Amino acid sequence: MEVSGKKVLVMGAGRSGVASAKFLAARGATVALNDARPIEKWSPDAAALKSEGVGFLAGELPGWLLDQLDLLVISPGVPTKAIPVRYAERAGAEIIGEVELASRYLKGRIVGITGSNGKTTTTALIGQMLKDAGLPTQVGGNIGTPLISLVESSREDGWTVVELSSFQLETIVGFHPTVALVLNVTPNHMDRYESFTDYAAAKHRIFMNQQPGDLAILNADDAVVSSWANGLRAHVTSFSVTQELGEGLFLRGREIVSRTTDGERVLLTRDDLTLRGLHNVENVLAALAAGLACGASPDSMRETIRNFSAVEHRLEFVAEVAGV
C-alpha cells in the first residue's frame, strides 16, 4: 500500500490512532490527527506528533477537509456510521481501521482471536505457547499493543497473534488470518449496534478473507458460533467442554482430548491448569487448537499451560485474610 503524498486523516488520538498517524507520516503521507477532546487534553505521545509534521484538529471536522481525503483511518471507538465517516466515504476516501492498515504491511502469518469473553486470556496464552515452542511470535491488537506498531518487527517466518474486538473487525477489508478463532458471542455493545444480529455479524467478519488452506476454530457449545461452521471457506475445527466431538478438542471427565481423523490423544488434564473455572478450560481448548495449527508441540504447550498465570485483573490472587 503506497501512502506517500496521500492526504490522510486519522480519527481518534488514542493509542491506535497515535500509532497510525506516526506510521503514516513516516512513510510520506500528509497526515492530520483528530479527536473530540481539546488538544491540551491529548496524551504526550499524541502531542509529540506535531514535531513529526502531523496536523492537529480537535472537535468537529470541516467539510472542506473531508472532501480532500484519500484515506480515513478510524479508531475502534469511532462508529462507522458517524456523519464525518459517511461524508468522507461519499467524497471518495477509503475508510479503514488501524488493524486493516497494519495488515497491509505485516510480514508472516496471523492468528486472529475474537469473542465476547475470554479473548485477552486466550490471546496471551496462544502468544506464550508459540514463543515457548520456539516460533517467532509477537502479540498485539485489542490486547493493548497497536498492531501497526508491530509491522517493523514482523518476520516472514513469524506469527502475529492478534486480539480483535467487533469494532476493529468492522473496518477490515483484506485482513487475512491464517488461523481465526471465535470463542463465543453474547450480547455486548448494544449501545453501538442496532441488534444482536449486527453485533454477531461484526464478529463473523474475522472469517471473510480466509481460504480453504486456512483454519477456523469455533466453539461448539455456543449456538451462534457453531451455526457458522457450514458457511466458511476455511477448514473448521471445534472445541467443547460439554460434548465429545468427531473432530476437534474437548473435555472428557478431567481429560483434555484432541481428536482427528487419525485418532485421538489426551493432551493434558484439568490438574495441569493453573487457570480457574470452566470458562478457562474453554480458553485453553481454543488456544491448544490454535497452537497445534501453528506447529507447537503438545509437550511444549502442556508446559506453557502449567506455568501460565491469569492475565492481570482476571481471577487474580490478591491476598489471604483469616484463611480466606
Find the helix or strand (DSSP H, E) in which 9 lies: strand 7-11
| CATH number of the domain where residue 91 is located | 3.40.50.720
User: Of the residues 42, 73, 100, which one is the last residue of a structural domain?
Assistant: 100
Q: The sheet that has 71-74: what strands, in order across it?
A: 55-58, 30-35, 7-11, 71-74, 94-97
Is residue 323 a part of any domain in this protein? Answer: no
Range of the domain at 150: 108-307
| Average pLDDT of the residues in 17-29 | 98
211-234 residue pLDDT tens: 999 999 999 999 999 999 999 999
Is residue 167 a part of any domain in this protein? Answer: yes
**pLDDT for the residue 312:** 81
Total-model pTM:
0.94
Q: Which residues are catalytic?
A: 119, 142, 189
Is residue 180 a part of any domain in this protein? Answer: yes
| Average pLDDT of the residues in 37-46 | 96
The count of domains in the chain is 2
Helix (H, G, I), strand (E, B) or coil at 263: strand
CA distance 272 to 92: 55
63-103 residue pLDDT tens: 999 999 999 999 998 999 999 999 999 999 999 999 999 99
CA distance 146 to 124: 15
